[in-house]
Amino acid sequence: MSRKASDNVEYTLRSLSNLMGEKRRQQADGSAGSGAAAAAGERSLIAAESCSSLNSAASGSELERAARRQFQQDETPGFVYVVSVFSALGGFLFGYDTGVVSGALLLLKRELNLDALWQELLVSSTVGAAALSALAGGVLNGLCGRRPCILLASGLFTAGAGVLAAARDKETLLGGRVVVGLGIGVASMTVPVYIAEVAPPHLRGRLVTINTLFITGGQFFASVVDGIFSYLAKDGWRYMLGLSAVPAVIQFLGFLFLPESPRWLIQKGQTQRARRILSQMRGNQAIDEEYDSIKNNIEEEEKEVGAAGPVICRMLTYPPTRRALIVGCGLQMFQQLSGINTVMYYSATILQMSGVEDDRLAIWLAALTAFINFIFTLVGVWLVERMGRRKLTLGSLAGTAVALIILASGFLLSAQVSPRITLNPPDPSHQNSTCTKYSFCNGCMLDPDCGLCYKLNKSSVIESSCIPVDKDSTMKAAWGRCSNETVFKKEDLFWAYNFCPTPYSWTALLGLILYLVFFAPGMGPMPWTINSEIYPLWARSTGNACSSGVNWVFNVLVSLTFLHTAEYLTYYGAFFLYAGFAALGLAFIYGCLPETKGKKLEEIDSLFENRLCSAEAQ
């Protein structure tokens, strides 16, 4: 305990003692004023007074002990917050590098003529690499510690940003996105564990949720950067993708001076160093009880599983950790299957699909949705220790399912009022084209080889034709009225690729906003928060690596298939599919997720001793 803290405690205790002494003097003065009482009464009063004094003294002692406990509980050193913020910069980079692609894609597909497959590759290559490195990160965390893994992630983020900024072709871009993905994977499974292990129990949920707050903050910042650099005539995407090097360098420099996790150090036998760091993290609070609890827990676990083989095998054969792993991986799976990264990676594209014609407007509207995501993640930080993990997750996913239904219904409504194709000009090249078979814009829009050339009469679409798109640029038709951008704009003609003109484009924006209002406070942060808590120390790195790996595998699955799913199931069919997955996730969480609020990390193992998805497990 520091000198300043000791002085404050002593001052508090002296004040309490003075108050109790004053109370006894007042009682004595009151007794002296009753001199007319009989002798027996005086003796009785003296006896009562003596008992009162003893009770007061005992009460004062209890108050002193309570004051000491309260003082120790209330004082959390600022160093804990410094460590958490520098750690959460990994979350910021995670958010920035996954969110920036939403706006960058609109520029890249025009400048580099990217088709749907290449767009999906640039998105999914990052999350695919993240899935692999998240699994490898579990081994690295166990062998090297949390701090070296965060330094490694910072280095990968910096290197990837440099490659992306200097890229001259789509293949180099793909390589840069893979390097960034490796950094994201290591950071995604290391940062929540590190914060959970250095945080005091009463702040753990809130501080781990800060990581998700930084993820959403990174996504919002990326969308603003997208909007700013979208006004550059050329190469705006280079600045968008390269600026992530700045926070990566800051985190790297910061972690050169920050400590290792005390729990990992105790596990490796570096007990003196662990006690010193734990004292830094707890300030004036007594650490003996916490230190002994961690040490005893590690010793018991090592006795139980010392010769039981690889950690993942031990986890699967030990029922409580097996159940925890199922719950943790299930949470991460349903987070992705409910479509969050479809919304975040393709938000600008989704808005353009709904009928928003201008690239810049779509990018800025995507920034609005990212801001909503950030604000309501703040709400989650405020709610997590009030509502608890279970209630917050259930309410969040229920609202998410409803929002997905609204989003799908908006696309369905637009499809039902889709403009009719009124002109079918002959192809001058006499090649058979699928574009001529469509009778409505909705079918033409879903075909990646076709676009709509049309005129407007006030708000009505007239003289519309479905024409093959130019092979070198999706901004114009291969032939006909809309094949020359300069000419067709002068003739009041419009070219729509990947969207149909509709008066209901606002429904997509409303659906996206409602989706993030419900998703951000609960299903955004809770899978990461809960996974950082539910595994015993010997299984924590591996458990988080497995759950992070599941998150990234399903992230790849959803992001790699979204555009093609939309083509085959239609846009409204894709979002109805995600709503169905969210409903399944709601049933899983209701049946299987116990409440971990306020529990010590060493106590949570007991929550999974009962049969999974039973009444006793909740």
CA-to-CA distance for 604 and 532, rounded, in angstroms? 11
Residue 23's pLDDT is: 46
Phi-psi label, residue 290: left if phi above 0, alpha if psi -120 to 50, beta otherwise = alpha
What pLDDT score does 155 carry?
94
pLDDT of residue 19: 42
pLDDT for res 601: 66
Q: Which pLDDT does position 430 carry in this prediction? A: 67
What's the pLDDT tens digit per position in 165-178? 999 888 999 999 99
56-65, 69-78, 289-298, 401-410: the lowest-pLDDT one = 56-65
CA angle 545/550/555 to nearest 5° reads 125
How much is the pTM?
Answer: 0.67
Confidence of residue 618 (pLDDT cuts 50, 70, 90): low
Burial class of 280 by CB neighbour count within 10 A (0 to 12, 13 to 18, 19+): middle
pLDDT mean over 264-269: 87
Decide: helix, strand or coil at residue 594. coil
- Strand, helix or coil for residue 453: strand
User: Do residues 200 and 81 make contact, with C-beta atoms less than 8 angstroms apart?
Assistant: no
Walk across the sheet containing 493-496 and list its strands. 460-468, 450-457, 493-496
Nearest to 518 by CA among 383, 373, 350, 385: 373
Rounded to whole angstroms, what are the CA distances from 521 to 215, 371, 379, 390? Answer: 13, 13, 6, 12
The per-residue pLDDT for 405 is 93
Instruction: Say whether 452 sits in a helix, a strand or coil.
Output: strand
Query: Using one digit for the tens of pLDDT, what is the confidence trace for 195-248?
Result: 888 888 778 778 887 887 888 889 889 989 999 998 887 888 899 999 999 999
Name the one residue in this structure whose structure tokens are 């909705």: 442
pLDDT at residue 301 in the model: 67
Q: What is the pLDDT of residues 388-422, one digit of tens each?
A: 888 999 999 999 999 999 989 988 888 888 889 99
Evaluate if residue 56 carries a pLDDT over 70.
no
The proportion of the chain whose per-residue pLDDT surpasses 70, expressed as a percent, equals: 84
End-to-end CA distance of the chain: 40
Pure H helices in 347-504 = 347-353, 359-387, 389-416, 441-446, 485-490
| pLDDT (0 to 100) of residue 379 | 87
User: pLDDT of 473-508, one tens digit each?
Assistant: 778 898 888 988 777 777 888 888 878 888 887 888
Residue 557: strand, helix, or coil: helix
